[in-house]
Amino acid sequence: MNNNNLIIINQQFQTEFNQNLIQNYQNLLKSNQNYSDITIKIGYNLKEFYCHKSILSCQSPFFSLYLKENQINEIIFKEINEEDMNQIIQYIYTGNIQLNQSNLFSIWLISIKFQLQSLQNFIENEIIIKNFNQQYFLPIF
């Protein structure tokens, strides 16, 4: 490889690029039906989330396999809470999520279902394990 053609991207440019990419994904998500190619319906009220197969598939092995095997434009998850799904979609698109005591367990279960390994690991390692009280351990001897 010729070193004269080598371009090095500095950290500041990379950070700005990543921030712009996240903002663009956020804007894409906010644009509702524009450019979306799949609708996810949630809960018994079937709240609609307009999403993009390519983004879902890139971030989630579950969606990647499911969408590859099924040529569909709609998925229904009645068992998932609307607010939890909103948080999961925000995470898939931006990497940001708001966790609290009321949604921690349900978000963890959804992260397992959708195979969002980094979110699952974060919840398990950073929150559950670090905050697990030793009083729950039973003495063996």
Domain residue ranges in the chain: 34-133
127 vs 77, residue with greater confidence = 77
- Backbone dihedral region of 50: left (phi > 0), alpha (psi from -120 to 50 degrees) or beta? beta
Rounded to an integer, the average pLDDT of 116-134 is 80
pLDDT exceeds cutoff 70 at 4 = no
pLDDT exceeds cutoff 70 at 138 = no
**pLDDT tens for each residue of 34-61:** 788 999 999 999 999 999 999 999 999 9
Q: How many CA atoms lie within 13 A of 124 on its CB side?
A: 9
3 vs 15, residue with greater confidence = 15
Look-up of token digits 């992260």: 111
CATH number of 34-133: 3.30.710.10
Q: Residue 44 and residue 59: Cα distance in Å, rounded? A: 26
**pLDDT tens for each residue of 68-115:** 999 999 999 999 999 999 999 999 998 989 998 889 999 999 999 999
42 vs 33, residue with greater confidence = 42
Q: Residue 34 and residue 54: Cα distance in Å, rounded? A: 14
